[in-house]
Amino acid sequence: MRAGCTAAAWAYVALAAVFAPSALAQEVKDSVSRPTTATETIAVGDALAATAGIPANGPEAAAPAAAVAQQVPPAAQVPPSGFDRFASWMGVDSSSSGWLHLGTWDGSFGFTYSGDRLDSSGSNSTTSIATEYLNIANRGWSIFDPRFISGNIGVTLGLDQVKQEFGSQEQRQHGTVDGYTFDATFLGEKPLYAKAWADRIQGYTTQSFGGTTKDTVSTAGASLNLRPDNWLRQADILPDFEATLQAYRQHTLQQSSYSGSTYDDDQVQNVVNLNAHSGTETSDLYVLLQYVDFNYLSYGIGSYRSRGGAVNYSGDFGANLNTTWTSSLGYNDREGDIPLKTVTVNETVDVHHNSDLQTSYAYNLYRQEGNGGNALNQNATASVFYTLWQHLAVTAAVSGADSRFDNGKVEGITGSVGLDYHRNLDIGGQVFLNAQGNYAHITDKSSSGDVPVTDEFHSAPPVLGVGNGFALANGFVTADSIVVVDTRGGARIPTTAALDYTITTDGNLTRILVLPTSRVIQPSDPLAISYVYLIPEQASYHSSNESLTVGMDLGWLGVSYTRTQTNAPQLASGGVTLTGNSTTDTLIAALRANWRVVQAGLGANLQRYDSTSLAYKTQTYSAGISYQPFYAIGLNFNGGWSRTEYTVPERTSGTANGRIDVNFYAPPSIRYDVLWATLFALRNRITDSEFPTQTLTQFGTTFNYMLGKLTLTASAQHGDFARANSTTKSTQFNLSVNRRF
């Protein structure tokens, strides 16, 4: 009975090996005992004979033993399983590969505290936030083999407590801080590989002048990537082609609180990108296709869908590859509450004939269609640069422009020529001279002097403070038409003049100054500015411009003087004089010193501008000194002062600023501890006879200490911001303790 059972089991193994070659057959085979007695051996033989279709009833029913032996098939060969074939393709030993291999475990736990007190025009508020958290991550895990699937995974768990007091009211909140990170790479060493990721990140930030923001960002996406060493290179089709197809969904929620009021900024966007690059030894081609579906949940307007693409090419050709062609094409179509369609074309050809002669040719096109108006701008330029001899070079250029708007068009042609001379001195330094002249003929066939601009892109200053801002690209801007939108994260967040920014004018230019107390605009945020500027109506005129610069730079001393003369007829639009004769004189001087541990510099810029419609004098002075007596201690001071007196029309404006920093750094010791600390104090002031005076005063300190896996960070600062009769005071303290393991 035992022999019969064993024989049946071995027959099952044989059948499984023939008809179902897999790891299961191997498991069954290993689970059955090998025959050890003669009886068991005969039974196994009978089972194999039965499997082969040979009777096992003795000599009466069977052929002679020799014949039977000849008909027994050879031992069955188990074909490789699908996993074995995959392991062979990957170059992996399947017998030593497990299902899951964990990577390196790490993590950290810690505590953070943020507190601030805000006093603003009689009202006050206090906010404190305490958070305890634990981070755990496994880095470098893999499935079967790192070349198959590998990645990282982590989780964050925490508790937060928020206490806010405003006036006589008090509010307390308790919540959780939970997050995760996950990323995986599939077939990471193959030419075609994939990535997937998902993360959720939460955190609190304290605004410079009161208020807190809790950010929650959740992202999930995947990408398919093709490396240059792919089959296209092997087939000699595209020797250096790579591409990435990426799709992701991002949900961003900002919950802000300020002086008892709260608001949410909730947005969801779905993005698909295709990036491709193909290159040769002498050229590169880049292609980008993008689709964005943006849903602004917090505002009634601002949601949109956009489709866009860009093609950029750069190639060298010609004799000795002396010619470079650069081409850039762009298209974007935004549909939604604020539709806008744009097309850009930029073409450039640079020819290096020899070491003394270079020529350049360029063509630019910009087309815009939107609710703010339609526009088509084209410009073509040809220029030459020629070195007459060692110290003297000449430049010349000619260009033509054609701008079409809903209310007409403007055409122009411009020519320019310049001389540049510089000579090195035996005592060190150099002397230089530059002369420029240009001529322009403009034909204005517009029926209105108003030209709309939609979404001119700028960036907020990296540090928000008094006087920090940027100038718009066009002059003679109608201030009432300015609309500023914050496009952080793809959104279109509206802003408010006098609350988030102020508008000032410097001559014919208009500047946007971001207020440090803005609740919307954050440092370095991308901004889109729409406005209307003025041009002359129905006019045909010519203008000329000449300038001369002379100066010297001896290293420790630099001085230059520039005089510019513009000749143009006096034309007006909407009661504003736009052109006319003008003269500008500019004197610049700089004094520099370097005495080992001390570096210092002084600068001065004096300018006088005179025309029929605008006249002013400007004085600007700056000073800076750096003192570092030894490696661990450093002292820096920077200051500046300026004043502009307008005589036409009468107006005065000025700025004054100063900042001092003290830095201390202790390098790693035998205990591997690192310490650095900073102290700072600053004061900025901007005055204008037509706008309220703004003053910002701040001082604070930052402390950071690292000892092995322990990091301690603390900071404190106090600031006063005054504008007109309003004063805002803010005091902040932050503490962070983190221990890695």
Does the pLDDT of residue 45 top 80, yes or no?
A: no
Q: pLDDT grade, residue 264 (50/70/90)? A: confident
380 alpha-carbon distance from chain centroid:
31
What was the pLDDT predicted at 373? 84
Write out the two tokens for 180.
Answer: 């995760």
Q: Which of 624, 620, 541, 556 is nearest to 588 (CA)?
A: 620
Q: What is the mean pLDDT of the chain?
A: 85
Residue 430 gets which letter from DSSP?
E
CA distance 489 to 190: 33
Nearest CA to 255 out of 475, 519, 517 is that of: 519
Q: What is the pLDDT of residue 31?
A: 41
Q: What is the pLDDT of residue 575?
A: 63
Rounded Cα–Cα distance for residues 192 and 242 (Å):
10
Pairwise CA distance, residues 212 & 255, whole Å: 8
Element (H, E) at 178: strand 169-186
More confident residue, 722 or 50: 722
pLDDT at 672 over 80: no
Q: Is the pLDDT of residue 300 over 50?
A: yes
> Which residues contact residue 70 at a Cβ distance below 8 angstroms, ignoring those fewer than 6 apart?
none
The confidence score (pLDDT) of residue 173 equals 80
- Residue 389: which pLDDT band, with cuts at 50, 70 and 90? confident
pLDDT at 697: 95
Angle formed at CA 615 by CA 447 and CA 603, multiple of 5 degrees: 125
Pick the residue with more confidence: 606 or 66? 606
User: What is the per-residue pLDDT across 465-520, written as a single tens digit (0 to 9) for each?
Assistant: 777 889 998 888 988 899 999 988 788 888 999 888 989 877 778 889 898 878 78
Mean pLDDT of 614-640: 93
- Work out the number of other CB atoms within 10 angstroms of the CB of residue 25: 21
Nearest to residue 431, comparing CAs of 471, 489, 391, 386?
A: 391
Pinpoint the alpha helices (H) of 61-147.
65-71, 82-90
pLDDT of residue 51 exceeding 50: no
Would you state the pLDDT for residue 37?
Answer: 46
Residue range 69-91: average pLDDT? Answer: 62
Q: Assess whether the previous peptide bond of 452 is cis (omega < 30° from 0).
A: no
pLDDT at 362 over 90: yes
**pLDDT digits 0-9 by tens, 539-568:** 788 999 999 999 999 999 999 999 999 998
State the average pLDDT over residues 338-367. Answer: 96
The tokens for 189 are: 């060493």
Alpha-carbon gap, residue 100 to 185, rounded angstroms: 14
Residue 256 has pLDDT above 80, yes or no: no
Q: Is the whole-model pTM more than 0.95?
A: no
**What pLDDT, on a 0 to 100 scale, did the predictor assign at position 93?**
60
Res 54: pLDDT: 44
Sheet holding 450-459, edge to edge: 450-459, 526-534, 483-486, 493-494
Tokens of 688: 């204008």
Give the angle subtended at the CA of 233 by the CAs of 227 and 239, to the nearest 5°: 90
Percent of the residues in the chain that have a pLDDT greater than 90, as a whole number: 55
pLDDT for res 84: 67
pLDDT score for 384: 98
Residue 55 vs residues 40, 66, 340, 535: alpha-carbon distances, Å: 18, 15, 86, 108
Alpha helices for 52-139 (secondary structure H): 65-71, 82-90
650's CB contacts (< 8 A; 6+ apart) are none
Helix (H, G, I), strand (E, B) or coil at 10: helix
At residue 235 the predicted structure's pLDDT band, cuts being 50, 70 and 90, is confident
Query: How far out from the chain centre does Cα 269 lie?
Result: 17
pLDDT band (50, 70, 90) for residue 668 = confident
pLDDT for 724 equals 80
**Burial state string for 573-592 with b = 16 or more CB within 10 A and e = fewer than 16:** beeebbbbebeeebebbbeb
**Coil, strand or helix: which one is 103?**
coil
Q: Give the pLDDT band of residue 536 (cuts 50, 70, 90).
A: confident
**525 backbone φψ class: left, alpha, beta (φ>0; ψ -120 to 50):** beta
pLDDT (0 to 100) of residue 179: 93
Q: What is the pLDDT of residues 274-299, one digit of tens each?
A: 999 999 999 999 999 999 999 988 87
- Does residue 68 have a pLDDT over 60? no
DSSP labels, 398-426 = EEEEEEEETTEEEEEEEEEEEEEEEEE-T
22: its two tokens: 């897999």
Least confident of 381-385, 612-616, 680-684: 612-616
Helix (H, G, I), strand (E, B) or coil at 146: coil
The whole-number average pLDDT for the span 137-145 is 93
Instruction: Of 77-81, 371-375, 579-583, 587-591, give the lowest mean pLDDT range.
Output: 77-81
What pLDDT, on the 0 to 100 scale, is given for residue 390?
85
| 248 pLDDT higher than 50 | yes
In Å, how far are 421, 436, 583, 618 from 550, measured between CA atoms? 9, 12, 17, 20
The set of residues, in sequence order, having a beta carbon less than 8 Å from that of 433 and lying 6+ positions away, is: 419, 420, 421, 422, 548, 549, 550
pLDDT of 167: 74
Calculate mean pLDDT across residues 352-377.
93
